[in-house]
Amino acid sequence: MPIDLSYRPEVSELAVTTTKFIAEHVLPVEERFAGDITAAGGDDCRRELNAEARKAGIFAPHAPEEFGGLGLSMSDRVPVFEAAGASTFGPVALHIGAPDEGNIHMLAHVADDRQRHEYLAPLAAGDVRSAFAMTEPSPGAGADPNALSTIAARVDGGWRINGRKRFITGADGADFFIVMARTSGDPGDRGGATMFLAPGTAPGITIDRHVHTVDKSMIGGHCEMTFTDVFVPDEDVLGAVDEGYRYAQVRLGPARMTHVMRWMGSAVRAHEVALRYVDERQGFGGRLGDLGMIQQMVADNEIDLAAARSLLVRACWELDQGSNASDATSIAKTFGAEAFSRVADRAIQMCGGLGVSEDLPLARLANELRPFRIYDGPSEVHRWAIAKRAVGRARKARDERTTA
C-alpha cells in the first residue's frame, strides 16, 4: 500500500497563511529588537502578536477545539509550526511556544474537568501564561529526573511543597505552575513524583533570579525559584499521586517534537539566508554558489534538513498512533538538535564576515539553536536511553532464543 505523505488542503493552507503572517507581522518585530523578546515588550508584545494571529485564523493551532484552538494532530502541526519557527518570535505570536504549548497538551490529556476549566481554558485562550517546574539545582533533578529533591508533604486538605527549581522557562510572569515534587521515596529512587497545579501568586513561591542564557526569544526567561511551604489543595493534584513521571511522558515526547518543528523553521531560515548570499556574492571569478566548497556546505545543509524532517514526521506519526514513541522522539530530537546547529554554523561560514555580524540574523539564530542540544534532555542522555533500549531488546531476544 502506498504511503501518503501529503497534508490535507486545509493544513497546507494554514501553513501558507502562517508563512505570510510571519513575514508581514512577526519578522519585522523580531528584527527591530534583535530577537530579544524582553526588549520587545515581553507580555505586551505577546498580546499584540496574539491578537494579530487571531485575526489571521492561526492562533493556537494545537489547542483543543473546545477551548478555541484548531485541534491539529501531531503530524498536522509539523508544517505549521515550522512556518511559525521561521521567526524566533513566531511561536510566541501563535501561542505555540514552550512551555505553554506542552502544558496545554498535557492538561488536555491529564487534567480533570474542573482543572481543564480553571487552568486549561484560560491558557489555551492566551489569557495567561504557565511554566513547568521540574529541573532543580545540583544535586536535584536535571537530566536525571530520579534525583528529584523538591518535597511535597501531606497536610490537612492538601500538600506543602518545599524545594528549589532552576531553568524554569517562562516563570517570570507565569499565572500558574505545574510543579513536579517528590511524594514518596528518596532522591535517586525511581518513581514517587507527583505533579501539582499552583497559582503564580500562591504564598511561598518566589523567583530568585533570571539565569541569563544565549537564547533571548522565550518569554518569561529561564528562572531560579524557591517553593517555601507552598500549600496546594488536593483538588489541584494533576493526575494521580506518585504517578508524576508517567504523566510527564504525555508532555515530554510531543514537546520534544514541537521543539524540533519550531527550530526547524529557524534552521531553514538560516539556510535560506546563506543561499541568497552565495547566489549573489561575487568572488574568485564567479558567484560563491558555483564554488565546490560552498556547494558541499549547501548540500550538507539540505541533507541535514531533509533527514531531520523525515525523522520528525515518523515520530509524529507514531505519537498519533497512540505510541509513546520513546525511540522515535529521542532519535528525532537528538538528530534535529545537532543538525540544526550544523546548518546554522555552515550558513555563518558561507556568509563570511557578515555571518557573524548583526547585518544578518545568523549569529543570533545560532545562539537560539545551540541550547536545543541541552533543552528537553541533553543529546548524551537521549543516546544513553536509545542504546539502553536497544541492548534491552537484544538481551530479551537472546533470552527467548535460549528458552525456545
Q: What whole-number distance in Å separates Cα of residue 296 and Cα of residue 159?
A: 59
Residue of 160, 136, 151 lying closest to 236 (CA atoms): 160
> Is 1.20.140.10 the CATH number for 246-403?
yes
3-class DSSP state of 226: strand
Inform me whether the pLDDT recorded for 344 exceeds 70: yes
Rounded CA gap, 22 and 16, in Å?
10
Q: Give the integer Cα–Cα distance in Å for 302 and 308.
A: 10
Mean per-residue pLDDT, 357-373: 97
pLDDT at 294: 97
Hey, what amino acid is at 163?
Answer: G
- List the domain boundaries for the chain: 9-97, 130-242, 246-403
Would you place residue 3 in the very low, low, confident or very high pLDDT band (cuts 50, 70, 90)? confident
Q: How far is CA 342 from the centre of its chain?
A: 19
Residue 404 has pLDDT above 80, yes or no: no
Give the whole-angstrom CA distance, residue 68 versus residue 400: 50
- Residue 401 has a pLDDT of 87
**In this model, does residue 359 exceed pLDDT 70?**
yes
**DSSP-based three-state secondary structure for 389:** helix
Mean pLDDT within 325-334: 97
Q: What pLDDT was estimated at residue 248? A: 85
Cα–chain-centroid distance for residue 49?
A: 19
Q: pLDDT tens-digit profile of 181-220?
A: 999 999 999 899 999 999 999 999 999 999 999 999 999 9
Q: Residues in the chain, how many? A: 404
Give per-residue pLDDT as tens, 40-64.
Answer: 999 999 999 999 999 999 999 999 9
Q: What pLDDT, on a 0 to 100 scale, did the predictor assign at position 1?
A: 57
Mean pLDDT for all residues in the chain: 96
Q: Which CATH superfamily is domain 130-242 in?
A: Butyryl-CoA Dehydrogenase, subunit A, domain 2 (2.40.110.10)
Residue 331 CB partners (closer than 8 Å, separation 6+): 311, 315, 382, 386
Residues 220-248 have a mean pLDDT of 96
How many whole angstroms from its chain centre is CA 60?
A: 15
Residue 4 has pLDDT above 90, yes or no: no
Helical (H) or strand (E) element with 181 = strand 176-182
Contact between 236 and 198 under an 8 Å Cβ cutoff? The reply is yes
The pTM is what? 0.95
DSSP helix/strand/coil, 234:
helix
Domain at 9-97: CATH code: 1.10.540.10
Return the pLDDT at 168.
98
All three cell numbers of 130: 504557565
C-alpha cell at 199: 497559582
Q: Specify the DSSP class assigned to residue 62.
A: T
Residue 34 clears pLDDT 60, i.e. is over it: yes
Query: How confident is the model over 76-128, as pLDDT tens digits?
Result: 999 999 999 999 999 999 999 999 999 999 999 999 999 999 999 999 999 99
Q: What are phi and psi of 31, to 5 degrees?
A: -65, -40
Sign of the CA dihedral 95, 96, 99, 101?
positive
